[in-house]
Amino acid sequence: MTQSQVTNQPLADRMRPKTIDEYIGQEHLVGKDAMLRKSIDAGTIPSFILWGPPGVGKTTLARIIANTLNRPFYSLNAVHSGVKDVRETLDKAKKQQFFHAPNPILFIDEIHRFNKAQQDSLLGAVEAGIITLIGATTENPSFEVISPLLSRCQVYILKNLEKNDLQNILNRAIKNDSILKKQDIKFVEYEAFLRYSGGDARKLLNLLELIVNAIVQEGNDKIVINNEAVKKHIEANLATYDKNGEQHYDIVSAFIKAIRGSDPNAAVYWLARMIEGGEDVKFIARRLLISAAEDIGLANPNALLMAKTCFEAVNMIGWPESRIILSETTIYLATSPKSNSAYQAINDAQALVNQSGDLPVPLHLRNAPTKLMKDIGYGKDYKYAHQYEGNFVPENYLPEDVKGSILYQPQQNAREKELIERFRNQWKDFYEY
Protein backbone atom coordinates (compact mmCIF):
# COMPACT_ATOMS: atom_id res chain seq x y z
CA MET A 1 0.00 0.00 0.00
CA THR A 2 1.43 3.39 -1.00
CA GLN A 3 1.67 6.41 1.27
CA SER A 4 -1.10 8.16 -0.69
CA GLN A 5 -3.39 5.15 -0.30
CA VAL A 6 -2.80 5.12 3.44
CA THR A 7 -3.43 8.87 3.68
CA ASN A 8 -6.70 8.65 1.76
CA GLN A 9 -8.00 5.90 4.02
CA PRO A 10 -9.87 7.36 7.04
CA LEU A 11 -8.26 6.86 10.44
CA ALA A 12 -11.28 4.88 11.66
CA ASP A 13 -10.72 2.33 8.87
CA ARG A 14 -6.97 2.20 9.40
CA MET A 15 -7.48 1.47 13.09
CA ARG A 16 -10.26 -1.10 12.67
CA PRO A 17 -9.31 -4.11 14.88
CA LYS A 18 -8.61 -7.36 13.04
CA THR A 19 -8.58 -9.79 15.97
CA ILE A 20 -10.57 -10.32 19.16
CA ASP A 21 -7.51 -9.35 21.22
CA GLU A 22 -7.40 -5.95 19.47
CA TYR A 23 -11.12 -5.38 19.96
CA ILE A 24 -11.87 -2.84 22.70
CA GLY A 25 -15.05 -2.94 24.78
CA GLN A 26 -18.05 -5.31 24.98
CA GLU A 27 -16.39 -7.51 27.59
CA HIS A 28 -19.79 -9.02 28.41
CA LEU A 29 -19.80 -10.55 24.91
CA VAL A 30 -16.18 -11.20 23.97
CA GLY A 31 -14.34 -11.17 27.29
CA LYS A 32 -13.02 -14.30 28.91
CA ASP A 33 -15.80 -16.84 29.54
CA ALA A 34 -18.41 -14.62 27.79
CA MET A 35 -21.05 -16.51 25.81
CA LEU A 36 -20.22 -15.18 22.34
CA ARG A 37 -16.48 -15.58 22.96
CA LYS A 38 -17.02 -19.24 23.84
CA SER A 39 -18.94 -19.76 20.58
CA ILE A 40 -16.16 -18.10 18.58
CA ASP A 41 -13.46 -20.15 20.30
CA ALA A 42 -15.48 -23.32 19.64
CA GLY A 43 -15.87 -22.37 15.97
CA THR A 44 -19.63 -22.86 16.05
CA ILE A 45 -21.51 -19.60 16.00
CA PRO A 46 -25.28 -19.33 15.55
CA SER A 47 -27.01 -16.75 13.40
CA PHE A 48 -27.35 -13.64 15.53
CA ILE A 49 -28.20 -9.96 15.58
CA LEU A 50 -25.98 -7.30 17.13
CA TRP A 51 -28.12 -4.53 18.63
CA GLY A 52 -26.50 -1.35 19.86
CA PRO A 53 -25.82 2.35 19.22
CA PRO A 54 -23.59 3.55 16.37
CA GLY A 55 -19.82 3.24 16.63
CA VAL A 56 -19.59 0.51 19.26
CA GLY A 57 -18.08 -2.16 16.99
CA LYS A 58 -20.93 -4.12 15.39
CA THR A 59 -19.46 -4.29 11.89
CA THR A 60 -15.94 -4.76 13.21
CA LEU A 61 -16.99 -7.67 15.41
CA ALA A 62 -18.70 -9.41 12.48
CA ARG A 63 -15.55 -9.12 10.35
CA ILE A 64 -13.33 -10.34 13.19
CA ILE A 65 -15.54 -13.40 13.64
CA ALA A 66 -15.37 -14.23 9.93
CA ASN A 67 -11.57 -13.84 9.92
CA THR A 68 -11.13 -15.84 13.13
CA LEU A 69 -13.24 -18.72 11.84
CA ASN A 70 -11.83 -18.46 8.31
CA ARG A 71 -15.30 -18.19 6.84
CA PRO A 72 -16.24 -16.58 3.50
CA PHE A 73 -17.72 -13.17 4.33
CA TYR A 74 -20.45 -11.36 2.40
CA SER A 75 -21.66 -7.93 3.40
CA LEU A 76 -24.80 -6.02 2.46
CA ASN A 77 -26.14 -2.67 3.62
CA ALA A 78 -29.90 -2.77 4.00
CA VAL A 79 -30.22 0.86 2.90
CA HIS A 80 -28.76 0.16 -0.55
CA SER A 81 -29.67 -3.51 -1.10
CA GLY A 82 -32.86 -5.09 -2.39
CA VAL A 83 -34.25 -8.61 -2.69
CA LYS A 84 -32.25 -9.10 -5.91
CA ASP A 85 -28.99 -8.31 -4.08
CA VAL A 86 -29.89 -10.75 -1.31
CA ARG A 87 -30.66 -13.55 -3.75
CA GLU A 88 -27.46 -12.99 -5.73
CA THR A 89 -25.44 -13.10 -2.53
CA LEU A 90 -27.19 -16.29 -1.39
CA ASP A 91 -26.44 -17.89 -4.77
CA LYS A 92 -22.76 -17.08 -4.26
CA ALA A 93 -22.93 -18.56 -0.77
CA LYS A 94 -24.43 -21.80 -2.10
CA LYS A 95 -21.48 -22.17 -4.46
CA GLN A 96 -19.15 -21.91 -1.46
CA GLN A 97 -20.65 -25.04 0.11
CA PHE A 98 -18.26 -27.96 -0.19
CA PHE A 99 -18.85 -31.16 1.78
CA HIS A 100 -18.25 -30.31 5.46
CA ALA A 101 -16.91 -26.80 4.89
CA PRO A 102 -18.44 -24.28 7.32
CA ASN A 103 -21.11 -22.08 5.79
CA PRO A 104 -20.30 -18.49 4.78
CA ILE A 105 -21.24 -15.51 6.92
CA LEU A 106 -23.67 -12.96 5.52
CA PHE A 107 -23.45 -9.65 7.37
CA ILE A 108 -26.33 -7.22 6.91
CA ASP A 109 -25.78 -3.74 8.28
CA GLU A 110 -28.89 -1.80 9.37
CA ILE A 111 -31.01 -4.92 9.02
CA HIS A 112 -33.93 -3.02 10.57
CA ARG A 113 -34.30 -1.20 7.24
CA PHE A 114 -35.11 -4.40 5.35
CA ASN A 115 -38.83 -4.79 4.66
CA LYS A 116 -40.75 -8.02 5.22
CA ALA A 117 -40.13 -9.32 1.69
CA GLN A 118 -36.39 -8.75 2.01
CA GLN A 119 -36.28 -10.46 5.40
CA ASP A 120 -38.40 -13.36 4.08
CA SER A 121 -35.80 -13.90 1.36
CA LEU A 122 -33.22 -14.59 4.11
CA LEU A 123 -35.34 -17.00 6.12
CA GLY A 124 -34.97 -20.09 3.95
CA ALA A 125 -31.18 -19.70 3.68
CA VAL A 126 -30.84 -19.39 7.46
CA GLU A 127 -33.06 -22.43 8.05
CA ALA A 128 -31.17 -24.51 5.47
CA GLY A 129 -27.79 -23.51 6.87
CA ILE A 130 -26.68 -21.96 3.58
CA ILE A 131 -25.41 -18.95 5.48
CA THR A 132 -24.82 -17.85 9.04
CA LEU A 133 -26.59 -14.52 9.34
CA ILE A 134 -25.11 -11.66 11.35
CA GLY A 135 -27.34 -8.61 11.41
CA ALA A 136 -26.51 -5.22 12.88
CA THR A 137 -29.11 -2.73 14.04
CA THR A 138 -29.45 0.40 16.12
CA GLU A 139 -33.16 -0.37 16.61
CA ASN A 140 -34.88 -2.89 18.86
CA PRO A 141 -35.01 -6.04 16.70
CA SER A 142 -38.29 -7.04 18.34
CA PHE A 143 -39.94 -4.18 16.43
CA GLU A 144 -38.07 -4.43 13.14
CA VAL A 145 -37.15 -8.07 12.48
CA ILE A 146 -39.90 -10.50 11.48
CA SER A 147 -40.71 -13.10 14.12
CA PRO A 148 -39.71 -16.22 12.08
CA LEU A 149 -36.26 -14.75 11.40
CA LEU A 150 -35.84 -13.37 14.93
CA SER A 151 -36.70 -16.75 16.44
CA ARG A 152 -33.78 -18.31 14.53
CA CYS A 153 -31.26 -15.74 15.74
CA GLN A 154 -29.61 -14.93 19.02
CA VAL A 155 -29.72 -11.25 19.97
CA TYR A 156 -26.57 -9.75 21.50
CA ILE A 157 -26.76 -6.25 22.96
CA LEU A 158 -23.72 -3.98 22.56
CA LYS A 159 -23.23 -1.15 25.04
CA ASN A 160 -21.86 2.36 24.69
CA LEU A 161 -18.11 2.34 25.15
CA GLU A 162 -16.86 3.36 28.57
CA LYS A 163 -14.47 6.24 29.28
CA ASN A 164 -11.47 3.90 29.61
CA ASP A 165 -12.36 2.18 26.33
CA LEU A 166 -12.44 5.48 24.47
CA GLN A 167 -9.17 6.65 25.98
CA ASN A 168 -7.55 3.34 25.02
CA ILE A 169 -8.76 3.78 21.44
CA LEU A 170 -7.25 7.27 21.25
CA ASN A 171 -3.95 6.21 22.78
CA ARG A 172 -3.69 3.18 20.53
CA ALA A 173 -4.32 5.35 17.47
CA ILE A 174 -1.51 7.83 18.19
CA LYS A 175 0.84 4.97 19.05
CA ASN A 176 0.08 2.48 16.28
CA ASP A 177 -1.43 4.33 13.31
CA SER A 178 0.99 4.48 10.37
CA ILE A 179 0.52 8.26 10.04
CA LEU A 180 -0.19 9.51 13.55
CA LYS A 181 2.74 7.70 15.14
CA LYS A 182 5.06 9.93 13.06
CA GLN A 183 3.57 13.02 14.70
CA ASP A 184 4.43 14.46 18.11
CA ILE A 185 0.98 14.17 19.71
CA LYS A 186 0.22 14.64 23.38
CA PHE A 187 -3.14 14.46 25.12
CA VAL A 188 -3.48 16.89 28.02
CA GLU A 189 -7.25 16.55 28.45
CA TYR A 190 -9.79 13.99 27.22
CA GLU A 191 -13.12 15.41 28.44
CA ALA A 192 -14.12 17.32 25.30
CA PHE A 193 -13.16 14.39 23.07
CA LEU A 194 -15.31 12.03 25.08
CA ARG A 195 -18.22 14.45 25.25
CA TYR A 196 -18.33 15.09 21.50
CA SER A 197 -17.91 11.39 20.66
CA GLY A 198 -20.91 10.28 22.73
CA GLY A 199 -19.43 6.80 23.16
CA ASP A 200 -19.04 6.31 19.39
CA ALA A 201 -15.56 5.00 18.49
CA ARG A 202 -15.85 5.91 14.81
CA LYS A 203 -16.94 9.44 15.72
CA LEU A 204 -14.04 9.64 18.19
CA LEU A 205 -11.42 8.71 15.58
CA ASN A 206 -12.97 11.02 12.97
CA LEU A 207 -12.67 13.82 15.49
CA LEU A 208 -9.05 12.93 16.31
CA GLU A 209 -8.14 12.99 12.62
CA LEU A 210 -9.89 16.32 12.12
CA ILE A 211 -8.16 17.95 15.12
CA VAL A 212 -4.68 16.67 14.21
CA ASN A 213 -5.02 17.80 10.59
CA ALA A 214 -6.25 21.22 11.67
CA ILE A 215 -3.35 21.75 14.09
CA VAL A 216 -0.82 20.56 11.51
CA GLN A 217 -2.25 22.99 8.92
CA GLU A 218 -1.65 25.81 11.41
CA GLY A 219 2.06 25.00 11.15
CA ASN A 220 2.50 23.37 14.56
CA ASP A 221 5.05 20.56 14.80
CA LYS A 222 3.97 19.63 18.32
CA ILE A 223 0.32 18.69 18.64
CA VAL A 224 -1.06 19.31 22.12
CA ILE A 225 -4.69 18.29 22.47
CA ASN A 226 -6.77 19.80 25.26
CA ASN A 227 -10.43 20.70 25.70
CA GLU A 228 -9.95 24.20 24.28
CA ALA A 229 -8.30 22.90 21.09
CA VAL A 230 -11.06 20.35 20.55
CA LYS A 231 -13.82 22.94 21.02
CA LYS A 232 -12.09 25.46 18.76
CA HIS A 233 -11.53 23.10 15.84
CA ILE A 234 -14.78 21.20 15.99
CA GLU A 235 -16.80 24.42 15.86
CA ALA A 236 -14.74 25.65 12.91
CA ASN A 237 -15.18 22.35 11.06
CA LEU A 238 -18.65 21.27 12.18
CA ALA A 239 -19.96 20.72 8.64
CA THR A 240 -17.06 18.39 7.84
CA TYR A 241 -17.32 16.61 11.15
CA ASP A 242 -21.05 16.00 10.75
CA LYS A 243 -21.17 15.22 7.04
CA ASN A 244 -22.29 11.64 7.65
CA GLY A 245 -25.18 12.51 9.94
CA GLU A 246 -23.26 12.35 13.21
CA GLN A 247 -25.87 14.61 14.87
CA HIS A 248 -28.59 11.99 14.43
CA TYR A 249 -28.75 10.87 18.06
CA ASP A 250 -28.01 14.35 19.42
CA ILE A 251 -31.08 15.74 17.64
CA VAL A 252 -33.27 12.88 18.84
CA SER A 253 -32.02 13.56 22.38
CA ALA A 254 -32.89 17.26 22.06
CA PHE A 255 -36.34 16.34 20.69
CA ILE A 256 -37.17 14.08 23.64
CA LYS A 257 -35.79 16.52 26.20
CA ALA A 258 -37.87 19.36 24.75
CA ILE A 259 -41.02 17.22 25.10
CA ARG A 260 -39.99 16.24 28.64
CA GLY A 261 -39.40 19.92 29.41
CA SER A 262 -42.92 20.85 28.17
CA ASP A 263 -41.64 23.16 25.40
CA PRO A 264 -43.79 22.57 22.27
CA ASN A 265 -41.89 25.20 20.27
CA ALA A 266 -38.50 23.54 20.72
CA ALA A 267 -40.03 20.07 20.30
CA VAL A 268 -41.54 20.97 16.91
CA TYR A 269 -38.27 22.61 15.84
CA TRP A 270 -36.29 19.41 16.52
CA LEU A 271 -39.06 17.40 14.85
CA ALA A 272 -38.60 19.57 11.74
CA ARG A 273 -34.84 19.01 11.87
CA MET A 274 -35.40 15.25 11.81
CA ILE A 275 -37.95 15.47 9.00
CA GLU A 276 -35.71 17.69 6.86
CA GLY A 277 -32.80 15.36 7.57
CA GLY A 278 -34.69 12.42 6.06
CA GLU A 279 -35.28 10.55 9.32
CA ASP A 280 -37.32 7.34 9.19
CA VAL A 281 -40.93 8.17 10.10
CA LYS A 282 -41.25 5.02 12.25
CA PHE A 283 -38.12 5.94 14.19
CA ILE A 284 -39.69 9.27 15.21
CA ALA A 285 -43.04 7.68 16.04
CA ARG A 286 -41.37 5.05 18.26
CA ARG A 287 -39.59 7.79 20.19
CA LEU A 288 -42.94 9.47 20.81
CA LEU A 289 -44.33 6.19 22.16
CA ILE A 290 -41.43 5.86 24.57
CA SER A 291 -41.76 9.49 25.68
CA ALA A 292 -45.49 9.08 26.31
CA ALA A 293 -44.86 6.17 28.67
CA GLU A 294 -41.65 7.39 30.32
CA ASP A 295 -42.21 11.12 30.73
CA ILE A 296 -46.00 11.64 30.80
CA GLY A 297 -47.18 8.33 32.13
CA LEU A 298 -50.01 8.39 34.65
CA ALA A 299 -50.28 12.17 34.67
CA ASN A 300 -52.13 11.74 31.34
CA PRO A 301 -52.63 8.08 30.34
CA ASN A 302 -54.26 9.21 27.09
CA ALA A 303 -50.83 10.33 25.88
CA LEU A 304 -49.80 6.71 25.31
CA LEU A 305 -52.99 6.07 23.31
CA MET A 306 -52.29 9.21 21.27
CA ALA A 307 -48.73 8.10 20.55
CA LYS A 308 -49.88 4.58 19.63
CA THR A 309 -52.48 5.99 17.22
CA CYS A 310 -49.78 8.23 15.75
CA PHE A 311 -47.48 5.24 15.18
CA GLU A 312 -50.25 3.30 13.40
CA ALA A 313 -51.29 6.30 11.32
CA VAL A 314 -47.84 7.25 10.01
CA ASN A 315 -47.24 3.62 9.03
CA MET A 316 -50.35 3.79 6.84
CA ILE A 317 -49.73 7.23 5.36
CA GLY A 318 -45.99 7.87 5.07
CA TRP A 319 -44.40 11.13 3.96
CA PRO A 320 -45.17 13.99 3.54
CA GLU A 321 -48.56 13.95 5.30
CA SER A 322 -47.18 12.11 8.33
CA ARG A 323 -45.41 15.30 9.36
CA ILE A 324 -48.79 16.75 10.39
CA ILE A 325 -49.64 13.73 12.55
CA LEU A 326 -46.18 13.79 14.13
CA SER A 327 -46.52 17.52 14.82
CA GLU A 328 -49.93 17.08 16.47
CA THR A 329 -48.65 14.27 18.67
CA THR A 330 -45.45 16.11 19.55
CA ILE A 331 -47.37 19.21 20.66
CA TYR A 332 -49.87 17.09 22.62
CA LEU A 333 -47.08 15.30 24.50
CA ALA A 334 -45.09 18.48 25.11
CA THR A 335 -48.13 20.27 26.57
CA SER A 336 -49.28 17.31 28.69
CA PRO A 337 -48.61 17.19 32.46
CA LYS A 338 -45.55 15.08 33.22
CA SER A 339 -44.90 12.11 35.49
CA ASN A 340 -42.19 9.46 35.39
CA SER A 341 -43.69 7.52 38.32
CA ALA A 342 -44.34 4.38 36.23
CA TYR A 343 -40.78 4.49 34.89
CA GLN A 344 -39.35 4.90 38.39
CA ALA A 345 -41.63 2.19 39.78
CA ILE A 346 -40.45 -0.53 37.41
CA ASN A 347 -36.80 0.54 37.92
CA ASP A 348 -37.22 0.29 41.69
CA ALA A 349 -39.12 -3.00 41.42
CA GLN A 350 -36.38 -4.58 39.29
CA ALA A 351 -33.75 -3.33 41.71
CA LEU A 352 -35.69 -4.89 44.60
CA VAL A 353 -35.98 -8.20 42.74
CA ASN A 354 -32.24 -8.24 42.03
CA GLN A 355 -31.46 -7.37 45.63
CA SER A 356 -33.87 -9.79 47.32
CA GLY A 357 -33.68 -12.71 44.88
CA ASP A 358 -36.47 -15.16 44.03
CA LEU A 359 -38.66 -14.84 47.10
CA PRO A 360 -41.44 -17.42 47.45
CA VAL A 361 -44.99 -16.46 46.53
CA PRO A 362 -47.11 -16.27 49.72
CA LEU A 363 -49.33 -19.35 50.08
CA HIS A 364 -52.60 -17.42 49.99
CA LEU A 365 -51.67 -16.01 46.55
CA ARG A 366 -50.72 -19.32 44.96
CA ASN A 367 -52.86 -21.04 42.40
CA ALA A 368 -54.49 -24.27 43.63
CA PRO A 369 -55.73 -26.28 40.63
CA THR A 370 -55.42 -29.68 42.43
CA LYS A 371 -56.74 -31.10 45.72
CA LEU A 372 -53.17 -31.74 46.92
CA MET A 373 -52.27 -28.08 46.47
CA LYS A 374 -55.35 -27.05 48.39
CA ASP A 375 -54.55 -29.53 51.17
CA ILE A 376 -51.07 -28.07 51.67
CA GLY A 377 -52.41 -24.53 51.90
CA TYR A 378 -52.21 -23.08 48.41
CA GLY A 379 -54.81 -20.30 48.11
CA LYS A 380 -55.90 -20.64 51.73
CA ASP A 381 -57.39 -17.49 53.29
CA TYR A 382 -57.21 -15.58 50.02
CA LYS A 383 -59.68 -12.68 50.11
CA TYR A 384 -61.53 -12.10 46.84
CA ALA A 385 -61.68 -8.32 46.51
CA HIS A 386 -64.98 -8.26 44.63
CA GLN A 387 -66.78 -9.78 47.61
CA TYR A 388 -66.00 -6.73 49.74
CA GLU A 389 -67.40 -3.22 49.83
CA GLY A 390 -65.94 -1.01 47.15
CA ASN A 391 -64.31 -4.07 45.59
CA PHE A 392 -61.40 -3.63 47.96
CA VAL A 393 -60.01 -5.43 51.00
CA PRO A 394 -56.64 -4.75 52.68
CA GLU A 395 -54.39 -7.70 51.89
CA ASN A 396 -50.67 -8.35 51.59
CA TYR A 397 -49.75 -9.16 47.99
CA LEU A 398 -45.94 -9.08 48.42
CA PRO A 399 -43.53 -11.72 49.74
CA GLU A 400 -43.17 -11.39 53.51
CA ASP A 401 -39.51 -10.32 53.28
CA VAL A 402 -40.39 -7.20 51.28
CA LYS A 403 -43.83 -6.51 52.75
CA GLY A 404 -44.61 -2.79 52.81
CA SER A 405 -42.12 -1.82 50.10
CA ILE A 406 -43.33 1.27 48.26
CA LEU A 407 -42.32 1.05 44.62
CA TYR A 408 -44.92 3.34 43.05
CA GLN A 409 -44.60 6.95 44.23
CA PRO A 410 -47.44 9.13 42.87
CA GLN A 411 -46.26 12.56 41.77
CA GLN A 412 -47.66 16.07 42.13
CA ASN A 413 -50.11 16.27 39.24
CA ALA A 414 -53.91 16.42 39.39
CA ARG A 415 -54.58 12.76 38.59
CA GLU A 416 -51.91 11.26 40.85
CA LYS A 417 -52.82 13.56 43.75
CA GLU A 418 -56.21 11.84 43.75
CA LEU A 419 -54.47 8.47 43.77
CA ILE A 420 -52.38 9.45 46.81
CA GLU A 421 -55.52 10.25 48.84
CA ARG A 422 -57.14 6.96 47.85
CA PHE A 423 -53.99 4.97 48.71
CA ARG A 424 -53.73 6.65 52.09
CA ASN A 425 -57.29 5.65 52.93
CA GLN A 426 -57.11 2.12 51.56
CA TRP A 427 -53.56 1.07 52.39
CA LYS A 428 -52.86 2.89 55.66
CA ASP A 429 -52.14 -0.40 57.46
CA PHE A 430 -49.65 -1.58 54.81
CA TYR A 431 -47.96 1.40 53.13
CA GLU A 432 -46.93 4.76 54.55
CA TYR A 433 -47.95 7.15 51.79
pLDDT digits (tens, 9 = 90+) for 200-222: 888 888 888 888 888 887 777 78
CA 275 to each of CA 79, 175, 399: distance values in angstroms, whole numbers, following the listed order: 18, 41, 49
- Whether 156 shows a pLDDT value over 80: the answer reads yes
Q: Is this structure's pTM higher than 0.85?
A: no
Other CB atoms closer than 10 Å to residue 102's CB: what's the count? 16
Our measurement of the distance from residue 28's CA atom to the centroid of its chain's CA atoms, rounded to an integer in Å, reads 16
Residue length of the chain? 433
Of 3-17, 20-34, 308-322, least confident by mean pLDDT is: 3-17
Q: Quick one: DSSP state of residue 294?
A: I
Domain-wise residue ranges, the chain:
26-157, 163-241, 248-335, 357-426
pLDDT digits (tens, 9 = 90+) for 96-117: 766 666 788 899 998 888 878 7
pLDDT digits (tens, 9 = 90+) for 76-100: 888 777 778 888 888 888 877 666 6
DSSP letters of 94-124?
A: HHT--TTPPPPEEEEETGGGS-HHHHHHHHH
pLDDT for the residue 243: 41
Domain range 26-157, CATH class? alpha beta
104's torsion region: left (phi>0), alpha (psi -120 to 50) or beta? beta
Query: Same CATH fold, 248-335 and 26-157?
Result: no
Q: What is the pLDDT of residue 373?
A: 63
Q: Quick: pLDDT tens for 336-379.
A: 888 888 888 888 888 888 887 777 877 776 776 666 666 666 67
CATH number of 163-241, picked from 3.40.50.920, 2.40.50.100, 1.10.10.10, 1.10.8.60: 1.10.8.60
Q: What class does CATH assign to 248-335?
A: mainly alpha
Alpha-carbon dihedral sign for residues 266, 269, 275, 277 = negative
Q: What percent of the chain has pLDDT over 90?
A: 10
CA distance 121 to 90: 9
Q: Does residue 238 have a pLDDT over 60? A: no
Look at residue 1 in the predicted model and tell me its pLDDT: 37
325 within 8 A of 314, measured Cβ to Cβ: yes
